[in-house]
Amino acid sequence: MSERITTPFGFGSTALEVVEGVDLSGRRAVVTGGASGIGVETVRALAAAGAEVTIAARDVEAGRKVAADVSATTGNGSVSVAPLELTSQESVKAFVAAWDGPLHLLINNAGVMASPLTRTPEGWELQFATNHLGHFTLTLGLFDALRAEGARVVNVSSAGHLSSPVVFEDIHFERREYDRWKAYGQSKTANVLFGVEAGRRWSGDGITMNALMPGGILTALQRHISQEELQERIRLRGGGDNPLQLKTPEQGAATTLVLAVSPLVEGRSGLYFEDCNEALPHAEGTTNGVAAYATDPEAAAQLWKVSEETVKVQA
């Protein structure tokens, strides 16, 4: 077993602090969901380090506003926007078809949380379709671009993965009662498992993939949650009388940037980070760490097979 990775950064670090002194000139990055929340600060930090950044967003107009703001604040004019709707396989494949040249950083950041039961036209449960299947199709579709010069793929997961493994017997809640938090949890577990199997399959292609918990950040991600429920979850996630400490979006994007640029992560795949450091195994009764089922190689291989069969895309 490799030694656990620790970095000079922690809970309060910001994305801009992580990239300070880092030169990403000549590197190309895609950030899904880069038009809101921690995605904006991820784009800003990558641009500040000199990367050419494409914001992949549902709302192209919002993306254009972010691109203009980031260019103005960083002096980097190489920030653009492209349409991407992760729940639409057609949209994802159109994005892939339009991409030209190498890709060095793919930040699978976009997501939906705790939504009411909603199905895509294919009948897929919305959270799994958005958080995992859309990113699976996108990443496999961009495989040749990623392989061209070696690349890092970063999946924004969540401590929410602790609420559920991937339930292969009924991923899309066709037979069991829908639970929006378990649906969210299994989609976030899938984000971690994706990196485990990618590490096995792609180690010879120079592509690495890792996942992270950004922290508790109040963004549009919570749009499906009432204020009362949100406050209760903040209390419970912190452990009763010690509420969860919230992060700013700038702090929430920091762990993403560690996985994207830190030399300490070079050549490593299938890891799960929180607060800018590799997470410890989850301990019963706590609300952090990584669940054993999220790094299980057999589950990772099964998820890949199921995902390929579902979206009919291979790499």
Catalytic residues: 184
Judged by DSSP in three states, 119 sits in: strand
Length of the chain: 315
Residue type, 11: F
Let me know: does 214 contact 280? Beta carbons within 8 Å: no
Q: Residue 127 is encoded by which pair of tokens? A: 């959270």
Cα→Cα distances 142→60, 93, 148, 167, Å? 21, 10, 10, 27
Residue type, 117: L
Q: Residue 312 is encoded by which pair of tokens? A: 């009919």
Let me know: does 15 contact 250? Beta carbons within 8 Å: yes
In angstroms, the CA 33 to CA 40 distance is: 8
First vs last Cα of the chain: how many Å apart?
28
